[in-house]
């Protein structure tokens, strides 16, 4: 694993970040909570791939571990055990409550990453 900037993944990361910010600011319900979580794993994945030269499989595994760890940390009530100044930030990062639906959204996001990467590899080898 070596640090190496990748413009393609960084561009995808920036676009996903903008979409996530717009969803957080202007959306509610299903769009905010489910689609936001679905895109969040893609955001983490593209960030990893934009700064580290790493295999697709390892990046997906790291993304999966991060997403599921954060969701399961919500069971610990960790975000409420810090001073108010930190609590707000932790609630943004960790969320506020555990949800099986979030795990499903993360899983679907990861499956989408796999499908897109496979398609990109196939397209690249067909050229």
- What are the tens digits of pLDDT across the range 39-98? 999 999 999 999 999 999 999 999 999 999 989 988 887 777 777 777 777 777 777 788
C-alpha 72/C-alpha 99 separation (Å) is: 9
pLDDT reported for residue 50: 98
Give the predicted TM-score (pTM) of the model: 0.89
Of 104, 119, 107, 102, the residue nearest 60 (C-alpha): 107
- Residue the block writes with tokens 């499989």: 57
Q: By the 8 A CB rule, do 43 and 19 touch?
A: no
Weakest mean pLDDT among 11-20, 75-84, 100-109, 112-121? 75-84
Q: For CA atoms 51, 56, 62, 67, give the dihedral sign.
A: positive
Does residue 127 surpass a pLDDT of 70? no
């Amino acid at each position: 694993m070596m640090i190496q900037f990748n413009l393609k993944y960084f561009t995808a990361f920036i676009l996903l970040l903008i979409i996530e910010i717009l969803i957080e600011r202007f959306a509610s319900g299903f769009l905010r909570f489910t689609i936001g979580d679905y895109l969040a794993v893609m955001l983490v994945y593209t960030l990893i791939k934009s700064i580290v030269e790493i295999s697709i499989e390892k990046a997906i595994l790291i993304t999966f571990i991060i997403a599921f760890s954060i969701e399961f940390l919500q069971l610990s009530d960790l975000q409420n055990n810090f001073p108010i100044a930190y609590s707000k930030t932790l609630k943004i990062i960790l969320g506020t409550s555990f949800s099986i639906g979030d795990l499903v959204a993360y899983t679907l996001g990861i499956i989408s990453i796999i499908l897109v990467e496979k398609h990109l590899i196939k397209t690249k080898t067909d050229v």
